[in-house]
Amino acid sequence: GKIVDKAGLPLPGVSIKIKNTNVGAVSDANGNYSINVPDNNAVLVFSYLGFLSQEIAVNGRASINITLEEDVK
């Protein structure tokens, strides 16, 4: 999948974890990532400094592209 901000710019270094596990990945310089998911019911947690964390259910998808929202606090 690919991770971008609201302007459509890629976000490198975003942490992607499978919820309730230690399995994770990090997005590359172009915002792309790849993670091996054990089953279709897994939930991915995306976190990045200065942005709100997001949880996305896999639901059998092979590729998940997301837009992270800035944390304005």
- pLDDT for 73 equals 78
Counting as low any pLDDT under 70, the low residues of the chain are: none
Distance between CA atoms of residues 72 and 17, nearest Å? 23
Distance between CA atoms of residues 6 and 54, nearest Å? 14
Other CB atoms closer than 10 Å to residue 42's CB: what's the count?
Answer: 18
Q: Model pTM?
A: 0.93
Beta strands in the chain, from DSSP E residues, in sequence order: 3-4, 15-18, 24-26, 43-47, 54-57, 66-67
Residues in a beta bridge with 2:
32
Percentage of the chain beyond pLDDT 70 is 100
